Structure 1
Amino acid sequence: MITIDLRGGIRKSAGLSQIFLEKERASLNEIIDYLARRYNLNHQIMSNEIMVAINGVDSSILGGGEARISSGDIVTILTVVHGG
């Protein structure tokens, strides 16, 4: 099982703080696509508007969208706040 921890605005939009994905393996892109479809987050989950960590490590260091996530991993997604 993969744990997806939602923080910030994306948590409010999804209505959940954690999602448990019953998969042994997935890429980050697959997880993002799943969340966008399942929770209607297309407008909030664009790559330039979120920060993603896998087990506390920035996903860009681990391969970005192609990063491999395995059962037992924790994916944290945080909406980036913009202001002016």
Structure 2
Amino acid sequence: GVGLADWLTAGDAGGTEWRTPPLWGIGLTETVNGHTFFLHDGRARNLTEAILWHGGEGQAARDGFAALSAGDRAALIKFVESL
């Protein structure tokens, strides 16, 4: 969405659109890349921040994640990291 916009066009994608890569192997990000920066510009320092930065089409998922208890959020992140 607009909150993450870089206003650069890449192929058919405008400055407010990004391809979400598959989540398989996301738990290995730090091991492979030496960091856990996420989103197109690395502004999210971890998966929780990456989820909470979403808006637009991802707003409902972000709101659902934010509504979870701290324990349920941690369990969800642990699951995603296991993929």
TM-score (norm 2): 0.32
TM-score (norm 1): 0.31
Q: Decide which structure has greater helix share.
A: 2
Q: Decide which structure has greater strand share.
A: 1
